[in-house]
Copies of this chain bind each other. A is one copy, B any other.
């Protein structure tokens, strides 16, 4: 009795034998090499089909020195941006024949980032997509191996690493401008954590709109993206009756704000107008539905993969930045100053 030889999955040589060609010809068919006679190609394809052959990517990576896997580093949060981008990246990568190895970091400090990177480098990923919206000034990105193609998403548009971003400053400007246009004068901003590059840029946009309009420039209230921090900010603002408008740096904080104002009997938008940021799916169902700034994360994901694959293809780490425009979504949390109760 012979030992069962069909135990391991078919390899290229098995296909070659079945098609009566050499393994190299099989390889050529697989990689779309031009010089293969159509008849031979068909024979090989038939053998592949019949044996259920699948190329072994580990072997391919070893032999060729390049892998078809991308590394993705993201922030471990439920925020729309990172999550939506992750899905978009995965989808785009897969449709280009790449797979995505994901790593998440709890915070964007140098050490976590460097741990994640080395974990991914060890898997010999072909390139890195970094969603963590890290502030490049603390140079956490300098831990990147200089040869490794990399793209950042939602990061510093001035960074030394290629990246795709939404114009956060413009977003902040648009939100504030909208409130100014409604006649508001004192517009408070609840910003995100200071180590988030996006948070800072929204502040800049807000400030620019205010100075441009000659409006007062109140102190920024610093939140942490959470509804809780928005709520806390809202309780602070209860004792500031001259504040008729608030621009929250994301929708979650805006939600907390709405909650706090509701508890304190300050009606939105009658007494106070509120604009959020992100336009999460639930924003339209807050009480009241929230005016917000939408970012196209799906597009960012796609673009970043595109950028990365181009770098991988060319073999050089080019620096290129793509900036997308945000979009104002009007709902019921904003109204002209002094408007009658709705």
Specify which chain B residues have a CB less than 8 angstroms from the CB of A227 in the assembled complex. Answer: 281-282, 284-285
Q: Are B87 and A76 within 8 A (Cβ)?
A: yes
A80 vs B83: C-alpha distance when bound (angstroms): 11
Interface residues of A in 73-108 (CB under 8 A from B): 76, 78, 80, 83-84, 86-87, 90-91, 94, 99-104
How many Å lie between the Cα of A118 and that of B289 in the bound state?
Answer: 43
Residues from chain B with a CB closer than 8 A to the CB of A165 are none
Q: Does A24 contact B (CB under 8 A)?
A: no
Main secondary structure of the interface of A (DSSP, over half): helix
Number of copies of this protein chain within its complex? 2
B119 in contact with A94 (CB, 8 Å):
yes
**A258 to B255 alpha-carbon distance, docked (Å):** 14
Number of interface residues of A (CB under 8 A): 53
Contact partner, A91, options B61, B94, B100, B104, Cβ 8 Å: B104
- Whether A103 contacts B124 by the Cβ 8 Å rule is no
* 24 CB < 8 A contacts A-B: A54-B121, A55-B122, A57-B122, A57-B124, A58-B58, A58-B59, A58-B123, A62-B62, A69-B101, A72-B102, A76-B91, A83-B83, A87-B104, A90-B103, A91-B104, A94-B119, A99-B101, A99-B103, A101-B101, A101-B102, A228-B284, A255-B282, A259-B287, A259-B289
Residues in chain A within 8 A of chain B (CB atoms): 54-59, 61-62, 67, 69, 72, 76, 78, 80, 83-84, 86-87, 90-91, 94, 99-104, 118-124, 226-228, 230-231, 252, 255-256, 258-259, 262, 280-282, 284-287, 289
